[in-house]
Chain A
């Protein structure tokens, strides 16, 4: 069972690597590419901590093989901030709205929110909750995560953000 040479683009940079067929994308990213931002949570496709972007789709990287990503454009949490370190609108929202506590789910949440806002730049609260339904957080109760995404949407759209009353 020979290894396969794959070429792909990760966070805008060309990469090539030899992978075993059975290597899951999350293990490839973390262990071969040293991109440890995406987390392994449940390892069963439920929690979304391993979410990365593949060719414009939010994908659970624990449920796809690295060989399947040959030729793909991948974005991980390491590629979300600007080259100079400026936080993205979503990252800033999570910081300003205290959208995290332990932080374990946060890379997946931010990758998912990033794609959600690209597809729907002005989501309602229920659209946000439906849109992040594949990402579990065991700390926050989601209230501040929803606010963080609302903050990001307002920033992206240049509209005023008003914090919802408790």
Chain B
């Protein structure tokens, strides 16, 4: 009696395991592998299911770098059908390792052309979905109270007048930290070593993570610290309360673009392409800012209230060719660490 109960339990748990591994019904379910910051409103992905009958299972896989590396390591048994969240700093690694099917959404127009990647860096594999600038954020109230004009440019940050006011994230443990480093490399070329030495001399603070820099060291209204300048996102000010209490130094921005693509080896290539198109559609694009704190790339998308007013987009952000980033990332990070963390 007892033995048969045990057997039944074993059988049930085996079925349960099997159930977890394969979709139960005959409709297609796509696995959408994303970075950890992926979020959409309830019902947005369900609209895709209503339109196409295809269900979407979201599977987060770390930050952009971790995501791409996972795809590379699992190339012989893919993690999913569609990937979202590969950014311009890792795009070239994804493209050169053959983990993506060549496909770019046909719905793109000339208006989105600036977001497309160069041919050799994943241009034929990745569809741009959202963009966000990593910029120095400024606490307006602090500067008003101190009676000092706010800095404007990267050069200003090494001005002794702004000594001890900036906190940045470490380039070897934080993606905005790396983006800021890339911005300085784009701005100064090989002169970036000297720039960073000057930043150190000007008492820049290096924090391990964004949360750490923003919430502990920054002096903004939701933060605890006393430094009025922090490396964060261009989208941070609109969500601060009261809105407008912080702002962005538009001449310090490095542009990040996040892409979606079809994972090589998918069993449902047609549906996977539909999902990439859907991510570019205004249904998703309108939903992106409030959920992921970045800007939609689709020129037809509408921004939520408050964004038009407080969210600023740099006109001439710093950029570096993704292939160059991929070729030099390790060396740059190690050289940076040697300067900042001797």
A binds B: no
B: residues with CB less than 8 A from A are none
